[in-house]
Amino acid sequence: MSMNSFGHLFRVTTWGESHGPALGATVDGCPPNVPLDPAILQHWLDRRRPGQNKHTTQRNEPDAVKILSGVFEGKSTGTPIQLMIENTDQRSKDYGDIAQTFRPGHADITYFQKYGNRDYRGGGRSSARETAARVAAGGVARAAIQALVPGMQITGYMTQMGEMEIDRTRFDWDAIGQNDFWIPDAAAVQDWENYLLGLRKAHDSVGAVVEVVARGVPAGIGAPVYSKLDTDLAAAMMSINAVKAVEIGEGMNAARLKGSQNADEIFMGNDGQPVYSSNHAGGILGGISTGQDVVVRFAVKPTSSILTPRQSIRKDGSAAEVITKGRHDPCVGIRAVPVAEAMMACVILDHLLLHRGQIGTNQGTIGA
Amino acid sequence: MSMNSFGHLFRVTTWGESHGPALGATVDGCPPNVPLDPAILQHWLDRRRPGQNKHTTQRNEPDAVKILSGVFEGKSTGTPIQLMIENTDQRSKDYGDIAQTFRPGHADITYFQKYGNRDYRGGGRSSARETAARVAAGGVARAAIQALVPGMQITGYMTQMGEMEIDRTRFDWDAIGQNDFWIPDAAAVQDWENYLLGLRKAHDSVGAVVEVVARGVPAGIGAPVYSKLDTDLAAAMMSINAVKAVEIGEGMNAARLKGSQNADEIFMGNDGQPVYSSNHAGGILGGISTGQDVVVRFAVKPTSSILTPRQSIRKDGSAAEVITKGRHDPCVGIRAVPVAEAMMACVILDHLLLHRGQIGTNQGTIGA
Amino acid sequence: MSMNSFGHLFRVTTWGESHGPALGATVDGCPPNVPLDPAILQHWLDRRRPGQNKHTTQRNEPDAVKILSGVFEGKSTGTPIQLMIENTDQRSKDYGDIAQTFRPGHADITYFQKYGNRDYRGGGRSSARETAARVAAGGVARAAIQALVPGMQITGYMTQMGEMEIDRTRFDWDAIGQNDFWIPDAAAVQDWENYLLGLRKAHDSVGAVVEVVARGVPAGIGAPVYSKLDTDLAAAMMSINAVKAVEIGEGMNAARLKGSQNADEIFMGNDGQPVYSSNHAGGILGGISTGQDVVVRFAVKPTSSILTPRQSIRKDGSAAEVITKGRHDPCVGIRAVPVAEAMMACVILDHLLLHRGQIGTNQGTIGA
Amino acid sequence: MSMNSFGHLFRVTTWGESHGPALGATVDGCPPNVPLDPAILQHWLDRRRPGQNKHTTQRNEPDAVKILSGVFEGKSTGTPIQLMIENTDQRSKDYGDIAQTFRPGHADITYFQKYGNRDYRGGGRSSARETAARVAAGGVARAAIQALVPGMQITGYMTQMGEMEIDRTRFDWDAIGQNDFWIPDAAAVQDWENYLLGLRKAHDSVGAVVEVVARGVPAGIGAPVYSKLDTDLAAAMMSINAVKAVEIGEGMNAARLKGSQNADEIFMGNDGQPVYSSNHAGGILGGISTGQDVVVRFAVKPTSSILTPRQSIRKDGSAAEVITKGRHDPCVGIRAVPVAEAMMACVILDHLLLHRGQIGTNQGTIGA
């Protein structure tokens, strides 16, 4: 019932603040004997790391992950895996008025109203820096998935940034890793760059849409009522900082569709597995995977930390004008891509284990 | 870790199938001494009940809820409240080909692929009938909220049905209970009726958007990382049948906004409480309530059960054409309104109790 | 986090009061396709039922269990199984002073101090009648175990009742079901009867020790730190009404032993499985099963409801002398036997599923 | 549902192995604004530390605890507190045959049978070294309790070691901290020392009984069915390495008592609170605290690591004779005292928070 955990059998608890000595993830329930090399986890962390990308903040930290427990002779033991990332960039500075002022659009005010205290150094626990721990935990999940369902692939990308949208007719999986926006549309990259530079010059920021797809998920994981696969995915994505909406398959657009348009028709494939005429469902029917691509999409709001002055108040109730200087991404959607992939990996692994626990290999087979 | 439960301290487990002897909810963690009259719970159930509304299915069941435990001398005792609704309309009939055929857009196929069995009578556990139990549990939550935060109001309404949208300039809280669509726009009712009748005649169905607002939620409930208020609301709504997307505040639209547009500015109100210039955040910052209206919105897909023939397969893998006869709502969004209110009530009560458990009355006060 | 649930993957929530309309168990996480006939559950309930045995109370209720959900065509579906037992013996009577008085040794006073209310009818939620729901749930667990590990046997028996103890040199598994005390020592039955009749005539009651053994538990279930098999068994037994101590293997006697006496030596058996020279460990090492018999033992206190007058107070603080008339077992240990078997079955099934979830078939094999 | 966590609202997850880089506890749910100085946690750890006491092992490690998160400006923030203890005594050595051999009475064999791997360095995750993390977490719990219920005191002591038992007529709270055995009986210390030295010379070890008492626990915490205060205490104590039995109040002795002897009579005290004629119940009735001392007792088995040779097998199934050299306590009961106090503190804090969450201040008052 920990407020800082997610997952059922594969359970991740993150801890740590933006400017404390360290942060990390306590990962419990990983299957044993999964090969876990720190370099693999570091690979995923490096994708998220600030300073890697000219459009993300310049906080220059190595984000080096240490495995403190749960791995012996290069393999998971089945006991808790403690992943620690030290904060090396804890600049001692004068926080001055920031410590007393609530930044609009941030958790500063609600955090104080809840707990009666606030770690004002970089947002404390509310900082997006917490997501580094998720990416590390997601690396563990990916390794375990690799052992259980070798072909599965989990890939995230941006589909929209403010007014810019990708052209899906040009969708190219290979393009995603080749540009700073993780977009599957190479032809759009230059326009996106210009757009974002314009926003930065205007001391502004912008929101985005990120899509994550899991290919190769076996049919049958999930559950029909509360621990649906889509329920857990929605929770996982909504728990990421700045996310304001989560969609599965057609998402909000489903409201516009007619039944005759929306239901994916089913046929028997040549390999004895069902195939579908379309994937409006986003790979999930009644909370359970269909075997099609699992498609999740979410919107992040624009960064609230901008150089444009905003009205706010201080802890004592007095009025304050806030300009947020310092290292801030003009579009946090970029950084959200590897985080979303990590969350998807954790949720899918959890459901693979839950399914195996309750059902074993006693599944239904069509045409048997 | 039950797959059929939600909530942390206020914990609801639903059980039962569409055509079994009964269904219900086991509600644990309700505060003691809350007045609980079966008539109050029945009031909420009657709003959801099929046959009450000419646009919902004609299944004519009283949906009478019985309180089997946890209430003594008209008040909650603090122990589990068992709410049972008997299925009186269990028509014995010949399911024929339905028992062997997977209906497109339904959980039939995934349920079978997971469990190796399927209760084909009306969808079994996957039926939207399960939501009656949620409404009953939500009635308990509302009564407990009433005792803890007397002024709080939780209201749901439709904002879109296919091509029809409400005009927010005509928004009228009082109109909501006055029409069959739960819309806050009396002037639109006739058009919506015509539209839906047209769809029905065309043997088709349509999706919808439902919005739920909680007014009077105190600032400070929720948590900053995984058990965020918005995370738990997203999970609660996504767990409702047919829901494909959930939004908080600006929702998907946040992706289009700039930081200078989105962050709600903060001022000190005359009553010593902070006030905000706007509510893009939907009443939640960093997972914790601001004291503004909590605004959640979600899309439901069009009913998959339509009279238009669709291609599918049978359990043995053979091809089948499916026409779904029988009692089906052309727009399940109508019925989702009271369900969504119930889920909102359960989540908010849960967070009120969690907050009290961890923090007590030791909250932060601005201007103190 | 429900206060009325136990188990991780196989999760049981009981509900109901002694004198309400019904009580029962919501059982979630049962594997699908387990044959579940109400008659099988009834068989286990009949063993616990009051009035079956001349040494247990004369409350003459059929304790008929109804399966309201989760079973279709004679098999579990994998969704929640609702088990309901209606209270048919709800005699309307004048509770008089009982409603205001706290019976010594009962939960009356603490229940009131906690919740600010009390269902005084037969102890309400604190009644041992709640254990009927456990026995029903245990019947489900036994059926699922039968499908997973066909040879496993779970057997409980009394080893002590006040001054009477069994003679372990006469231990006879077959005797257990042949006498009213569930003792494995036929020669002792007459003495135990005389002893208990003497206590009853003296308006007194007595405590007991119950032992439960699971034979055929595979090696490797459990976990090394908090969700140890012994931890979960200790919690399961301590949660039964009137239990004041739980022992595994040597139990309290381990405090007297030397290391050279206590550690069970290990040899390789002819079938390629390890064998042990003894079973001081009670079948559990480091929280994980060894493959030997799992042996749990617990003490129940004497029934507090006796005809001998005891001093107490009323809700208003005034002094009261309490004599508890009515239907009360002179030794609740007798009734605890089937309850303890049920709890053992639930815990073992839960750990079988947890093990399968995390590990699958990827276990270690000695001598491989 | 983590296998390495305990607690409901105050939730502790421990991680780490005996000979890895570090071990620790992730503590979630601590109330905010609790003063937390690392020196306070260190104080409790020093009591448990090896090498502090001539009867515990000579592993000479500082066991210095670092607070990595959740504390800001000397107070808890309400978010996860990460407590890390680095293993400074990781001697690189040749484990030789130990790596292949299962030590009798240890988790070596079951751990391997479960996970298919084994960290043979000092027992890995199964090492009693894990209890250092519990003591650190218990220090947090004590600090939070101090803020909530200032007068409460939690004290553990040994009552038996092999054949030696304390004389309760000489019980002296002040003596407990004055001797190496934590016994409340100063006159017995010399005999206990001689006895233990004799065992050590004989290359043997011995079991023990530890008792923990919480004084000043308010009436009303706990719950009547599964999350009883005694259930959670039994689980907490049974989860400590080497524990084979847990008793509440009269414990196993309750089996010998008559109802007329056992039920504690109730009177009204001069301060308007109920008083009891005795405390057979150990401060808990029906799972809920009475306001009397909460009394828990448990037995630990003798250390299995002894210099006397024992028969066992290797991973390949071959026979082996095991003599366990190295640093081992002849009686682990000594070290169990501070661990048991820590577990008691965690359980009681958890129930104080749960009670506040569900009930608030809406309790029952006798004589009101």
Give the model confidence (pLDDT) of A240-262 as tens digits. Answer: 999 999 999 999 999 999 999 99
| Residue D94 pLDDT level (bands cut at 50, 70, 90) | low
- With an 8 Å Cβ cutoff, are B224 and A125 in contact? yes
Between CA A301 and CA B3 the distance in angstroms is: 31
Residue B359: enclosing H or E segment and its boundaries?
A: helix B333-359
Q: Which of A205, A246, A367 lies at the smallest CB-CB distance from B316? A: A367
User: Could you tell me the two tokens for B358?
Assistant: 């961890």
Distance from CA of D273 to the nearest CA of C (A): 9
Give the best residue of A8, A11, A13 to mutate against chain D (max D CB count within 10 A): A13
Distance from CA of C138 to the nearest CA of A (A): 17
Chain D residue nearest residue B144, CA to CA? D358
Q: Which chain D residues touch C328 with a CB distance below 8 Å?
A: none
What pLDDT score does B39 carry? 94
Neighbouring chains of D at 3+ CB pairs under 8 Å are A, B, C
Looking at every residue in chain A, the average pLDDT score rounds to 93
Distance from CA of A216 to the nearest CA of C (A): 20
pLDDT per position as a tens digit, D125-139 = 999 999 999 999 999
Q: Which chain C residues touch B124 with a CB distance below 8 Å?
A: 72, 77, 79
Nearest of C126, C150, C146 to residue C138 by alpha carbon: C146
In the numeric block, the tokens 């309760």 are attached to D168
Give the best residue of B192, B196, B226, B322 to mutate against chain A (max A CB count within 10 A): B226
Q: Count H helices, E strands: chain D?
A: 7, 18
Distance from CA of B27 to the nearest CA of D (A): 13
Q: Which of D32, D79, D356 lies at the smallest CB-CB distance from B356? A: D356
| Residue D121 pLDDT level (bands cut at 50, 70, 90) | confident
What pLDDT score does A56 carry? 67
* Chain C interface includes B84 (CB < 8 A): yes
Q: Which chain A residues touch C33 with a CB distance below 8 Å?
A: 362
* Chain C interface includes D269 (CB < 8 A): no
User: Could you tell me the two tokens for B294?
Assistant: 């909590």
Q: Which chain A residues touch C29 with a CB distance below 8 Å?
A: 358
Q: Which of D32, D79, D357 lies at the smallest CB-CB distance from B353? A: D357
Looking from the CA of A230 toward its CB, the CA atoms found within 13 Å total: 36
Between CA A121 and CA A90 the distance in angstroms is: 9
| Arithmetic mean of pLDDT, D170-196 | 96
What pLDDT score does D148 carry? 97
Between CA C66 and CA C52 the distance in angstroms is: 20
What pLDDT score does A52 carry? 57
Between CA C366 and CA C267 the distance in angstroms is: 11
Least confident of B39-48, D155-164, D179-188: B39-48
| Residue D88 pLDDT level (bands cut at 50, 70, 90) | confident
Least confident of A47-61, A150-164, A308-322, D296-310: A47-61
The Cα-based distances of B271 to A313, A315, B267, B366, B367 in angstroms read 15, 15, 11, 11, 11
What pLDDT score does C53 carry? 63
Given a contact cutoff of 8 angstroms between Cβ atoms, the answer to whether C98 and C120 are in contact is: yes
At residue A50, does pLDDT exceed 70? no
Q: Which chain D residues touch A72 with a CB distance below 8 Å?
A: 17, 117, 119, 124
Q: Which of D1, D14, D69 lies at the smallest CB-CB distance from A23? A: D69
- With an 8 Å Cβ cutoff, are A302 and B259 in contact? yes
Q: Which of D8, D15, D66 lies at the smallest CB-CB distance from A80? A: D15
- With an 8 Å Cβ cutoff, are C117 and B68 in contact? no
- With an 8 Å Cβ cutoff, are A311 and B277 in contact? yes
pLDDT per position as a tens digit, D238-247 = 999 999 999 9
Q: Which of C33, C78, C357 lies at the smallest CB-CB distance from A9? A: C357
Bigger pLDDT: A235 or C327? A235
- With an 8 Å Cβ cutoff, are B110 and A8 in contact? no
Chain C residue nearest residue A31, CA to CA? C358
Q: Count H helices, E strands: chain A?
A: 7, 18
pLDDT per position as a tens digit, A287-321 = 999 999 999 999 999 998 888 899 999 999 999 99
Least confident of A36-40, C288-292, D212-216, D339-343: A36-40
pLDDT per position as a tens digit, C87-135 = 986 665 667 788 899 999 999 999 999 999 988 888 899 999 999 999 9
**Alpha-carbon C53 to chain mean position:** 18
| Arithmetic mean of pLDDT, D153-171 | 97
3-state SS assignment for residue A126: helix
What pLDDT score does B362 carry? 76
- Taking one residue from B and the other from C, the number of pairs with CB-CB distance under 8 angstroms is 153
3-state SS assignment for residue B252: helix
| Residue D98 pLDDT level (bands cut at 50, 70, 90) | confident
* Chain C interface includes D10 (CB < 8 A): no
Q: Who's near B54: CB < 8 A, 6+ residues apart?
A: B180
The Cα-based distances of A131 to A25, A127, A161, D214 in angstroms read 10, 8, 20, 40
| Residue B366 pLDDT level (bands cut at 50, 70, 90) | very high
| Arithmetic mean of pLDDT, D277-306 | 96
What pLDDT score does B149 carry? 97
- With an 8 Å Cβ cutoff, are D224 and C125 in contact? yes
| Arithmetic mean of pLDDT, D176-184 | 94
Q: Which amino acid is at D35?
A: P
Q: What angle do CA A287, A292, A297 make, to 5 degrees?
A: 70
At residue D62, does pLDDT exceed 60? yes
pLDDT per position as a tens digit, B79-92 = 999 999 999 866 65
3-state SS assignment for residue D115: helix
Nearest of C66, C48, C44 to residue C57 by alpha carbon: C48
What pLDDT score does D38 carry? 93
Give the best residue of B10, B15, B34 to mutate against chain C (max C CB count within 10 A): B15
- With an 8 Å Cβ cutoff, are D84 and A68 in contact? yes
Residues in chain D: 368
Between CA C205 and CA C306 the distance in angstroms is: 7
pLDDT per position as a tens digit, D343-355 = 999 999 999 999 9
pLDDT per position as a tens digit, B64-116 = 999 999 999 999 999 999 999 999 866 656 677 888 999 999 999 999 999 99
Given a contact cutoff of 8 angstroms between Cβ atoms, the answer to whether B358 and D31 are in contact is: yes
What pLDDT score does A53 carry? 63
For residue B142, is it left (φ>0), alpha (ψ between -120 and 50) or beta?
alpha
Burial class (CB in 10 A: 0-12, 13-18, 19+), A92: exposed
Q: Which of D33, D82, D114 lies at the smallest CB-CB distance from A16? A: D82
Contact map slice: C 131-170 vs D, CB within 8 A: 160-163
Contact map slice: A 17-36 vs C, CB within 8 A: 29, 31-33
Q: Give all strands (DSSP E) within chain D, no chain letters.
A: 5-6, 11-16, 22-28, 65-67, 71-72, 75-76, 81-86, 153-161, 164-165, 208-215, 243-248, 266-268, 274-276, 284-285, 288-289, 294-300, 310-313, 319-322
- With an 8 Å Cβ cutoff, are C354 and A357 in contact? yes
User: Could you tell me the two tokens for A124?
Assistant: 């404390």
In the numeric block, the tokens 């509440």 are attached to D248
Burial class (CB in 10 A: 0-12, 13-18, 19+), C138: buried
- With an 8 Å Cβ cutoff, are A356 and C360 in contact? yes
Between CA C68 and CA C80 the distance in angstroms is: 9
Q: What ipTM does this complex have?
A: 0.96
pLDDT per position as a tens digit, C242-293 = 999 999 999 999 999 999 999 899 999 988 899 999 999 999 999 999 999 9
CB atoms within 10 A of CB C58: 11
- With an 8 Å Cβ cutoff, are B239 and A245 in contact? no
Nearest of A227, A365, A236, A237 to residue A287 by alpha carbon: A227
Distance from CA of D358 to the nearest CA of B (A): 5
Which parts of chain C have pLDDT scores under 70?
1, 49-61, 89-94, 326-327
3-state SS assignment for residue D228: coil
* Chain C interface includes A358 (CB < 8 A): yes
